């Protein structure tokens, strides 16, 4: 990955919850819908001059559905959390999503125990929308859903 992306991959890679299932989900989506690659996952890198360091991953869990809903997800390495990377990335993905007339709403699911993740969503305008679902959530963890409807004015 280091050569393909031109970034340093920390020994602590991958970030929490970005496991083989998530990687395979992304690859299956790209294979099935190559024209929707923009609605896929991205790697987050911190650039310091000529040096780039991988700090996280995230993006969309596919293209907008028939109702105009698209979902974002993200994960940042623990040593790089609380530095604004997720907030900047989520804000960028939301701006990108609402540039498309296909998008009526952006949603996100997170774990109720992940306060920093919830703060990222709230900082980017998302509002609590109730309990969520994620069949891959850790056993015993409650999933919550946040959403941001159009129009978004940030």
pLDDT tens string 105-153: 999 999 999 999 999 999 999 999 999 888 878 888 999 999 999 975 5
Angle of CA points 102, 36, 54, to nearest 5°: 115
In the block, residue with structure tokens 């609380």: 82
H or E element in which residue 43 lies: strand 41-48
Least confident of 25-34, 73-82, 99-108: 25-34
Predicted TM-score of the model (pTM): 0.91
The whole-angstrom separation of Cα 116 and Cα 55 is 16
Q: pLDDT (tens digit, 9 = 90+) per residue, 30-55? A: 899 999 999 999 999 999 888 899 99
Domain 2-149's class? alpha beta
DSSP string, 63-123: S--TTSEEEEEEEE-GGGTTSSHHHHHHHHHHHHHHTSTT-SEEEEEEETT-HHHHHHHHH
């Amino acid at each position: 990955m280091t050569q393909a992306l031109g970034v340093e991959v920390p020994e602590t890679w991958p970030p929490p919850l970005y496991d083989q299932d998530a990687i395979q989900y992304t690859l299956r989506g790209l294979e099935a819908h190559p024209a929707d690659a923009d609605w896929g996952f991205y790697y987050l890198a911190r650039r310091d001059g000529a040096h780039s360091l991988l700090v996280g991953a995230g993006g969309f869990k596919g293209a907008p559905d028939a109702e105009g809903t698209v979902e974002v997800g993200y994960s940042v390495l623990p040593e790089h959390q609380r530095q604004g990377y997720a907030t900047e990335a989520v804000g960028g993905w939301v701006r990108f999503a609402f540039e498309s007339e296909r998008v009526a709403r952006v949603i996100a699911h997170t774990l109720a125990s992940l306060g920093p993740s919830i703060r990222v969503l709230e900082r980017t305008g998302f509002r609590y929308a109730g309990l969520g679902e994620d069949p891959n959530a850790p056993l015993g963890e409650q999933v919550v859903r946040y959403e941001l409807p159009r129009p978004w004015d940030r």
